[in-house]
Amino acid sequence: MSLLPARSRLRTITLLGLPIMGGMLSQSLLNLVDAAMVGSLGKEALAGVGLGSYANFMAIALVMGLGAGVQAMVARRRGQGRETEVAAPLNEGLLIAALLAVPLTLLCWFNAERIIGFLSSDQGVVEIGVDYFHWRSLAIIAVGANFAFRGYWNGIRESGLYLRILVVMHLANVAISYGLIFGKFGLPEMGAEGSGLGTCIAMFLGSALYLSITLRRGRAHGFLQARPQFSGIVSMLRLSMPNSLQQLFFATGITTLFWIIAQVGTAELAIAHVLVNLALFLILPGVGLGMAATTLVSHSLGANKPEDAYRWGWDVVRVAAVALFIMGMPFWLAPHFVLSLFTQDPALIALGEWPLRITGLGMTLDATALVLTQALLGAGASRTVMSVNLGSQWLIFLPCAYLAGPVLGGGLLLIWLLQSGYRALNSIIFAIMWRRRHWADIRI
C-alpha cells in the first residue's frame, strides 16, 4: 500500500479538505497570536486567559455538535438528490442554536466568578479570567450559528466559502483584540480582557457574513423558505446532541485538566495554555480533514455506496497522518525556538520543551482518531463516538493525570505523556470500529 491514496482520490480529498483544513489552521493561528499578545502581559494574564478560554469551551460545547449534525444531514440529502430540502437541516440547526444559547449565556454571565474561582486559587489569575470569560459568553449564540452555517457549506462541498469567511473573521479578531489589549487604533486599553471582547465582536461579524451570503445563495436549497419541521428538529437533536454532549464532556475534561495542572503551579498552568494552543495548531487541521471525511462518507452512504465510504475513511487518515507529521516537525526539532515566540521566561520555556516534543511526535498517531471520529459522525454513529471518547478521557486519562501530577508529584511532563497515550489508545479503538463496518447500516 502506498503512503498516500490514488491520485484521483487524493485530489478529491485535497479540494474538499484543504479549505476546511486552512480554516482550522487559521483558527489555530488566531489562538497562537492571542496567546503571544497576552503572553507579553505576564504569566498571570496568560494563565487567566487560559482558564477563561477553556471555561468558554465548556459553554459553547453544547452548540458545537450542531456543525457535524447539519453537515451529515445536508450531505446525505444531497447524495439522495433532494436538492430543495438540502438547507432544511440548517434551518433546524439555527433554531436549536438560538434556543440553547440564551440560557447558556445567562448562566455563564452570572456565574463567571464561581466558575473561574473554582479553577484557580490565584486571585490575580481569577480576576483576569472572569473579565475575559464575561465577553466570550456573550458570543455563544454567534458560535452556534457559525457552526450550523459551516456544516451547511461543508455539506454541499463548498468549503472554500467557509474558509474565506473564517479568514476574514480571524483577521478582524486579531486587529480588534490587538487594539483593545494595548489601546491602539483609538480603542481603550483593556489588557487581557480586550482579547475576549475582540473575539466576541469577530464571532458576530462572522455570523453576519454567513447570513448575508446564505440568504443570496441558499434559497434554492430551502434556506428560510419554510418553518423547521418538528420531525427534522428531532432528527437533528438525535444526531447532534450526542456529539454536543461529547464536546461538553471533552471541554469539561480539558478544563479539569487545567484545574489539575493549576494544583501543580501557576507557571505550569501558564505554559500549559501555550502548549494546548500549539497542539491545536495540529489538531484542528486534522479535524478539518476529518470533516472532509464526514462529507465524503455521508455522501457515499446516501448514494448507497458503503464500500466507497469505507475507503474514504482510510484514505483521509493516510493524508492526515502525513500532513500532521510534517506540520509537527518544528515542535520536536526546535521546541525552545517555538516556545520563545510566546514567552521569554526561561523557566516557562524549560517546563514546556519536552511536552512540546511529545505533542509534535504524538500527533501522527492521533491522526486516526481525529479523522475516523468525524467519519463515524458522518455515518451517524454519534452515540458510539461519544461513548469511546468520554470513556477514555474520564475513566482513564483524567484520574491517571490527577494521580500522576498533584498526588505523586510527576509534574507537567508526566501529565503530557499520559495525554498522548490516551489519544493513541483512541486511535486504536476507532480503527477497529471502522474495520468492523457496523456504521454502514445506520439510517439518519
Question: What is the model's pLDDT at position 29?
Answer: 65
Question: What is the model's pLDDT at position 192?
Answer: 83
Residues in the chain, pLDDT under 50: none
Question: What is the model's pLDDT at position 295?
Answer: 80
Question: What is the model's pLDDT at position 1?
Answer: 54
Question: What is the model's pLDDT at position 418?
Answer: 93
In 3D space, the residue among 180, 248, 134, 252 whose CA is nearest the CA of residue 34 turns out to be 180
CB proximity list for 16: less than 8 A, separation 6 or greater = 157, 159, 292, 295, 296
* pLDDT tens digits, one per residue of 356-392: 999 998 888 888 998 998 888 778 787 788 788 888 9
Question: What is the model's pLDDT at position 31?
Answer: 64
Task: Please give the biggest Cα pair distance in the chain.
Answer: 61
Question: What is the model's pLDDT at position 26?
Answer: 60
Determine contact, residues 135/193, Cβ cutoff 8 Å: yes
Please give the grid coordinates belonging to residue 65: 455538535
* pLDDT tens digits, one per residue of 238-282: 777 776 777 777 778 877 888 898 888 878 888 887 888 788 788
* pLDDT tens digits, one per residue of 125-140: 888 889 989 999 999 9
Neighbours of 259 (CB within 10 A): 18
Determine contact, residues 52/136, Cβ cutoff 8 Å: yes
Instruction: Note the pTM of the prediction, 2 decimals.
Output: 0.70
Please give the grid coordinates belonging to residue 199: 473575539
Neighbours of 265 (CB within 10 A): 16
